[in-house]
Structure 1
Amino acid sequence: MRLPTLRRTRSAEPGTITGTARLDRRTKRLVGRLRPGDVAVIDHVDLDRVAADSLVAVGVTAVLNAKPSISGRYPNLGPEVLVKAGIPLVDDLGESVFQALREGETVRIDGNTLFVNGEPIAHGTRQDTDTVAKAMADAREGLSVQLEAFAANTMEYLKQERDLLLDGVGVPDVETTIAGRHCLIVVRGYEYKDDLDVLRPYIREFKPVLIGVDGGADALVEAGYTPDMIIGDMDSVTDDVLRCGAEVIVHAYPDGRAPGLARVHQLGLSALTFPAAATSEDVAMLLADEKGATLIVAVGTHNNLIEFLDKGRGGMASTFLTRLKVGGKVVDAKGVSRLYRQSISGSSLLLLVLSALSAMASAVAVSTVGKAYLGVLSEWWNNLVFQLGQLFS
């Protein structure tokens, strides 16, 4: 008999954690189902920072990975994020963990061992600050190999998508008016929430075309905006956001296959497809550039070599070339929240209010109409005081 599912509890025994298991081989898809206190069971070799940040934001009590979170190919940033946040990470549990566990089942983690119904079902490697630091140091030694692979992938992509990069061949005709306007492209990447918050005055003044890349569309809605366009393979955007009225562009494989299109049609929505070997964020930038955007403001996108490698995909080579293609128009908002944060102290706000009230009082006191109103108000107050005095005398 299986135990009933429970919310997160911590045993009095050090290192022992109990919680409800949620499983998915796609980490970004799993995040949408997780709740605070859940145990996330993933299948994510070389866990990247974006995925780790999303797990921390949800408030999981532990992360169980069927694969090594650091394989040694390159120094990926995700495991460090988890251990710094105090979230236990058990690695390399093996493929069998997905067969042995069921969604919503209560699990117990004791050291590096996973228990269900009191029975051990898998053993892994419990990561901590020291083990992650050592694995990262070892991975940096092999970084030159990854740089060579990245360069080779870049050349391969250039050959494959030459016509798209140089002449815009394959970019679909969209209904949204982009020519002559700014475009704000939002990806659920590093510091996207803080940067979106800082960009509020810019969005209010310039009213850019709001383009959400997959889960970036949800990020726009969460910030209080309605996307004009949603671009991506539709694996992390929610149904409600897809129905918000935005124009939908499904990122397809170069051969035209678009798995995400079926989901859009099931929701009763129409969509265009954009076949390309590039990533979805690159597709969004290429579309904005080809349709005549005067400026592209990027939030949460990848813009340096460390981030390209951290993503751990050969396709990130397309981002490098896309940046070369549209670089003159792109402004990266990443990190702007750390450079500048608009704030008004409480004392400054109080002083502003008092100054405004003082100015209003002075204006009323010197004007003829103001004097008449003050006389009426004074007479009303005197009558009120007199009546109260009569009442209690």
Structure 2
Amino acid sequence: MRLPTRQQTSVLPGVAGTARVERRPRVLLPRLRPGDIAVLEHSALDRATAQRLVDAQVAAVVNVAPMVSGRYPNLGPEVLLRAGVPMVDGVGTTALAALTDGRRVRLHAGNVLEDDGAGGGRVLASGRALDRETVEAELVGARQGLATQLESFTHNSTAFLQREQDLLLHGIGVPVPGTRIAGRTVVVVADGPDVEAELVRLRPYLREQEPVVVAVGRSAEAVRDIGRRPDVVVVDADEPEGVPSAAALKAARDVVVRTGRGTSGGELVESLDRLGIRPLRIETDATAEDAALLLAGAGDAAVVIGVGMRASLEEFLDRERSGLASTYLTRLKLGARLVDAAAVPYLYSGRVRPHHLLLVMVAGFVALAAAVGVTPVGQEWADQLSDTLQGLLP
């Protein structure tokens, strides 16, 4: 997605905007406004975070850490490049103190300067301006280190399975929602970068088959945007900024709160109680997205369709590292029941509607009339019909 060219109020070189400073991306993202310069600390920027920066229409991104760590080929920098968002990385943690939140700054040649409007602003921080050639070269090097990352991933998966074996293998601790899931198709909607487009393509299926819709976090808003009410909403107590609106929560029949092992999710549960919502809870170190999949699997869903999820190796690795093992093992648990939303339009042609049958009948009558018309009897009928019509005319 390419953003429209941003109009700058200054004729000075570089990109100017208001600095929004917060080292934690999940706290920064809700505060961003179009034209802001996002200043954050996120080593190996992932695709989902980068897409949210693009959606916020930031003018530029300044990263305290490297955009590409070299450990694995993360996809975030490419998303920003395609959207035409300038990037500066490696400015160091001292830049967080120098770049005051709300200050007007300008980026030029890897430097972050005060924007005094006259070109004399002092340098507040310096880093590396990233271009396509630099990003592509670093990603090539990162791909060469994948073997090491996969070995680490195998170890993490084993440790995760030991901690979560009751939940993963036996379904112990998975809540039972009021929505009936057994034997039905369940559509699990994650807050992925292309979720809106995938939901639009899936709209005929949702309308005609009426599956159970389980929305994760803010994806509940995307579900409502296409005119569908989510049946179940799964929210993460560790990411309160990802909780959808009160209207989306109240519209759902069930609300499930994912809490980490040994935590209660107290603040989120209390806020839901104030809304009159009695949430179910699932205690796990798996991600909220994976908790939603486990909920569908434990409920004995016939088929689970994943929307806003990714299955390629690079996109699979391009996640928060703590959530990688749960993603892998959850998909193994669901097995053949899990289908990607991209495959549904190819496999589902739609329900036969009355106007489809009418068109077939009309085509059949036309073909029959044409066949009869070339026979002697048909010609005689045609002559009689012609005489009758002429007799009716004045």
- Is this a same-fold pair by TM over 0.5? yes
1:47 equivalent in alignment to 2:45: yes
Which residue of structure 2 lines up, in the alignment, with residue 366 of structure 1?
A: none
Counterpart-to-counterpart distance in 1, 2:347 and 2:161: 37
Instruction: Measure the CA separation in 2 of the matches of 1:205 and 1:231.
Output: 24
- 1:149–1:199 distance in 2 versus 1, CA, 3 Å: same
Deviations 1:201-237 (A, max 9, x none): 0000111122111122222123332222111314312
Report the CA distance shift for 1:92/1:222 in structure 2 as closer, same or farther (over 3 A). Answer: farther
User: CA 1:329/1:21 → structure 2, altered by over 3 Å: closer, same or farther?
Assistant: same
**Residue 339 of structure 2 corresponds to residue 331 of structure 1:** yes
1:229 and 2:229 aligned: no
Cα 1:25–1:221 shift into 2, 3 Å = farther
Q: Does 1:78 align with 2:76?
A: yes
C-alpha contact 1:296 1:330 (8 A) present in aligned 2: yes
Deviation at 1:77, TM superposition (A): 0.7
Provide the residue aligned with 1:382 in structure 2: none
Instruction: Give secondary structure in 2 for the equivalent of 1:75.
Output: coil
Sort the Cα spacing of 1:57 and 1:235 in 2 relative to 1 into closer, same or farther, 3 A: closer
| CA distance in 2: counterparts of 1:340 and 1:176, whole angstroms | 26
Quote the Cα distance in structure 1 between the aligned partners of 2:224 and 2:110.
39
**Equivalent in the alignment of 2:378:** none
User: Whole-Å Cα distance in 2 between the matches of residues 238 and 43 of structure 1?
Assistant: 25
- Are residue 9 (structure 1) and residue 5 (structure 2) matched? no
Change (3 A) 1:225 1:72: same
Deviation readout 1:92-149 (Å, 9 max, x if unpaired): 2222333333443322112211123523221111111011011111111211110101
Alpha-carbon shift at residue 87 of structure 1 (Å): 0.7
Q: Tell me how far apart the structure 2 counterparts of residues 129 and 53 of structure 1 sit (CA, whole Å).
A: 17
The equivalent residue for 2:250 is 244
Deviates more, 1:265-274 or 1:149-158: 265-274
Q: Distance in 1 between matches of 2:73 and 2:179?
A: 40
Q: Percent identity?
A: 42
The alpha carbon displacement at 1:38 in A equals 1.8
Match of 2:28?
30
Q: What's 2:177 paired with? A: 174
Output one character per residue of 1:159-184: Cα deviation in whole Å (capped at 9) or x when no partner. 11111111100011222222232211
- The change in CA–CA distance for 1:307 and 1:261 in structure 2 (over 3 A counts) is farther
Q: Over aligned residue pairs, what C-alpha RMSD do you find?
A: 2.9
The equivalent residue for 1:92 is 90
* Cα pair 1:8 1:37 within 8 Å, conserved: no
2:336 is paired with a residue of what secondary structure? coil
- Equivalences for residues 1-393 of structure 1 within 5 A: 9=8, 11-14=10-13, 16-116=14-114, 118-233=121-236, 234-246=240-252, 247-258=254-265, 260-265=268-273, 267=275, 269-334=277-342
Higher mean C-alpha deviation, range 305-314 or range 42-51 = 305-314
Closer/same/farther in 2, CA of residues 341 and 271 from structure 1, 3 Å limit? closer
Distance 1:220 1:26, change over 3 A: farther
Q: Secondary structure at the match of 1:328?
A: helix
The separation in 2 between residues aligned to 1:223 and 1:38, in whole angstroms, is 29
1:126 and 1:142 map into 2 onto residues whose CA distance is 24
Gaps of 5+ in 1: 1-6, 343-351, 360-393
Gaps of 5+ in 2: 1-5, 350-358, 367-394
How many residue pairs end up in the alignment? Answer: 340
> Is the alpha carbon distance of 1:324 and 1:40 closer, same or farther for their aligned partners in structure 2, counting shifts above 3 Å?
same
Which residue identity is paired with 1:323? Answer: R
Report the Cα distance in structure 1 between the residues aligned to 2:347 and 2:52, rounded to whole angstroms: 24
* Matched-pair contact (CA < 8 Å) for 1:46–1:312: no
Q: Output the CA distance in 2 between the equivalents of 1:19 and 1:27.
A: 18
Q: Is the 8 A contact 2:77 2:135 kept in 1?
A: yes
The 2-side partners of 1:336 and 1:28 are apart by: 32
Aligned AA for 1:253? G
Check whether the contact 1:252–1:274 (CA below 8 A) recurs between aligned residues.
yes
TM-score, normalization: structure 1?
A: 0.78
| Structure 1 pair 267–69 and aligned structure 2 pair: CA distance change class (3 A) | farther
Query: Which residue identity does 2:8 align to in structure 1?
Result: T
How big is each residue's C-alpha offset from its partner over 1:278-310, in whole Å with a ceiling of 9 and x where there is no partner? 111111011111112222111012324322211
State how far apart, in whole Å, the 2-side matches of 1:216 and 1:24 are. Answer: 24
How far residue 13 of structure 1 moved from its aligned partner, in angstroms, is: 3.5
Task: Tell me by how many angstroms 1:66 deviates.
Answer: 1.7
Q: 1:335 to 1:182 in 2, by over 3 A?
A: closer
TM-score (norm 2): 0.78
Range 169-178 or range 101-110, more displaced: 101-110
Q: Which one is further off, 32-41 or 275-284?
A: 32-41
Q: Is the 8 A contact 2:78 2:135 kept in 1?
A: yes
